[in-house]
Structure 1
């Protein structure tokens, strides 16, 4: 993470997430009397298992298949060279079914996966596709997937704490169970607001790093234009909607969005 702005944002959001995590652990300690070391260990295992299952389930739900090197040798060579330049291991490459042109990265720099949709390969020129892939490699280099997964794990812990807090304060009947689920979702959403805020900035950083990797920003800008147009003409699969937070393109611009506006990204890319 060479970007100073990203480091500052990470420090602020990291402090907030740590406060949420501490609050969750403290609640379970007070409510159930479980030892702190046990709670910390259990939370680490929970987040780790969640991370592993999420990666496996995401690729499986999108009918992911390894990208054949004999059919796409240029993509594999580009990924191998760019990964070497970025100082990361070459990730696994997958072809997925999303119904729309898109791409995403999973994992970490030493054990990563980059997935591209079949529709993306069909509509992009070679330099545009390289811009998209470089963007995803930048996410691996900057550990963005790990940060997102950690945030989701902490949000889940807070959600569990909120759920049990409601149950323990009521009669533990169906009304309390229903109310607990609502409060749990609201609590998780509150945590994710901070995760999504840093995610939006991380997209700008990955765009810039991709432009640096391929020498200019225009190919990725053109790719984003085509991806945006493709998203307007086609409907993503239900499974693709579930992983939209991971993808290079997201159309939501609300407080809970994980991506900045496409127009602003394209404007910045064309200034590089």
Structure 2
């Protein structure tokens, strides 16, 4: 499927993020002089690149993801092979993890993707529901929105760190400046993340629609989302941290801040669209 809306949103957010970076670079040039420009450019590329690699590694490590044995999970591998062929993408690596809740997420780029499925999800869902969840995750890889999310989070983190140090270095009271710098960095990072989150919610609708197309119906994914939601409501603690939760098919974080800065649209609205 051609998702013009998603592409336009990713292009817009990419432009906004580049604008934030440009403003930050101009501040650095005005403070340190034009001679620092090569270091700013190279440093930014290295920071984003390293953050992308670390982000992928950290997401897998945070849930203790292990390779999914093909001989033991032959049916899951077959589903992913068939879906990957239909979507015209390389079959991603499959990993299994104990997350405490039924969930799944994709990370990595097209051609080098990884799909992680929780053992709890395989215990709760029926085979056709599992297939729909896998189709949803493969759609994220196909649409390249996983990379946009990770890079966006990296740029937000970079801007937050830079603002923090600008405030610290500009002051003359070490303790107060550290506190003010930390607060300013957090606010700056949160403001940048507002734009990234706008993509996050929309990309879930797009991946849902793709899954419905590739499995032939929206009902299996709708049932899966409902089961995941109901099961997660009865669990207080999970192995999923906040950055990884943004990549999951369902965000089980119940904190107040998480509800305000939601990375996912309401399950009820997703189900309504799937069944419309």
Q: TM-score, normalised by structure 1?
A: 0.94
Q: Distance in 2 between matches of 1:161 and 1:53?
A: 19
Contact 2:98 2:239 in 1 (8 A): no
Partner of 1:109: 110
Query: Given that residues 100 and 239 in structure 2 are in contact (C-alpha distance below 8 angstroms), is that contact kept between their aligned partners in structure 1?
Result: no
Match in the other structure for 1:120: 121
Tell me, yes or no, if the aligned pair for 2:89 and 2:142 is still in contact at 8 Å.
Answer: yes
CA RMSD of superposed structures (Å): 1.6
Task: Specify the SS of the correspondent of 2:116.
Answer: strand
Query: Which has the higher mean CA deviation after the structures are superposed, 230-239 or 259-268?
Result: 230-239
Matched, 1:187 2:188: yes
**Structure 1: 4+ residue segments shifted above 3 A:** 238-242, 251-255
Question: How many residues align structurally?
Answer: 271
Question: Counterpart of 1:51?
Answer: 52
Q: How far apart are 1:129 and its partner, in Å?
A: 0.3
Alignment of 1:134-145 (within 5 A): 134-145=135-146
Task: For residue 89 of structure 1, give the secondary structure of its aligned residue in structure 2.
Answer: coil
Task: Tell me if the contact between 1:99 and 1:119 (Cα under 8 Å) persists in the aligned partners.
Answer: yes
Q: Secondary structure in 2 aligned to 1:235?
A: coil
* Conservation of the 8 A alpha-carbon contact between 1:224 and 1:262: yes
Q: Does 1:267 align with 2:268?
A: no
Cα displacement (A) at 1:243: 1.7
Q: Name 2:17's counterpart in structure 1.
A: 17
Shift of 1:263: 0.2
Equivalent position SS for 1:2: coil
- Judge conservation of contact 1:89–1:110 (CA < 8 Å) in 2: yes
Report the alpha carbon displacement of residue 7 of structure 1 after superposing the two structures with TM: 2.5
Matches for 1:167-182 after TM superposition, within 5 Å: 167-182=168-183
| Shift of residue 172, structure 1, vs aligned partner | 4.9
